[in-house]
């Protein structure tokens, strides 16, 4: 089941972020240097952060935006949703959590009459880019994010790969 996170989930959300950062760092991947707690609180308040639940277990968390002009610039035309900050609970890795997120996102896009699911990731992480491409995402370009205060702290001055999945309307 996928539902919105609540303010009560914030300690767990922060814990999952810290665990993901530690694990990725140990595996030699680039990681966020800090977590924008205010940004996470805003996502929760605006009902833009979600959790995948099985019973009482939180399997994964992710955020969604309706617009992302600071990263997608002229491509941001109100025809997409943008997935961000996907963090899998390490206890549930290998159980296809991203596939669940993507299926939810594609259903959301269809329901809202939109066209794309978009996301960005570290430009130098060819492994994760190939993983997302295996789900049908197309590489658009590499882009260096700005230092704009509107961007979450962890998304400033990064080299990111922009990925896009066109969602076909249901028959």
Query: Cα–Cα distance between 65 and 43 in angstroms, integer?
Result: 9
Quickly count: other Cβ atoms within 10 Å of residue 108's Cβ: 16
Band (pLDDT 50/70/90 cuts) for residue 35 is confident
Query: Cα–Cα distance between 49 and 83 in angstroms, integer?
Result: 10
Band (pLDDT 50/70/90 cuts) for residue 171 is low
CATH tag, 2-166: 3.40.630.30
Question: Which whole-number Å values give the CA distances from 153 to 12, 41, 106, 165, in the listed order?
Answer: 20, 14, 28, 26
pLDDT, tens only, 83-95: 998 999 988 988 9
Please give the average per-residue pLDDT across 39-47, as a whole number. Answer: 92
Band (pLDDT 50/70/90 cuts) for residue 107 is very high
pLDDT, tens only, 8-23: 999 999 898 888 777 6
Query: Cα–Cα distance between 161 and 171 in angstroms, integer?
Result: 31
Domain spans of the chain, in order of start: 2-166
Please give the average per-residue pLDDT across 129-133, as a whole number. Answer: 95
Query: pTM for the full model?
Result: 0.89
Query: Cα–Cα distance between 148 and 1 in angstroms, integer?
Result: 35
Name which of 26-30, 46-50, 63-67, 86-90 the model is least confident about. Answer: 26-30
């Amino acid at each position: 089941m996928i539902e919105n996170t609540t303010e009560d989930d914030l300690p767990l959300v922060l814990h999952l972020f810290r665990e993901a950062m530690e694990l990725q760092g140990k595996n030699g991947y680039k990681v966020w240097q800090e977590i924008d707690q205010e940004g996470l609180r805003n996502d929760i308040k605006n009902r833009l952060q979600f959790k995948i639940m099985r019973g009482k277990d939180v399997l994964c968390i992710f955020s969604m935006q309706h617009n992302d002009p600071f990263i997608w610039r002229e491509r941001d035309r109100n025809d997409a949703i943008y997935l961000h900050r996907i963090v899998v609970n390490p206890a549930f890795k290998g159980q296809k959590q991203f596939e669940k997120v993507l299926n939810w996102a594609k259903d959301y896009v269809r329901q809202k009459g939109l066209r794309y699911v978009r996301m960005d990731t570290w430009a130098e992480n060819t492994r994760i880019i190939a993983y997302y491409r295996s789900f049908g995402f197309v590489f658009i370009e590499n882009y260096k994010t700005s230092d704009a205060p509107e961007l979450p702290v962890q998304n400033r001055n990064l080299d990111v790969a922009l990925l896009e999945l066109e969602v076909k309307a249901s028959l």
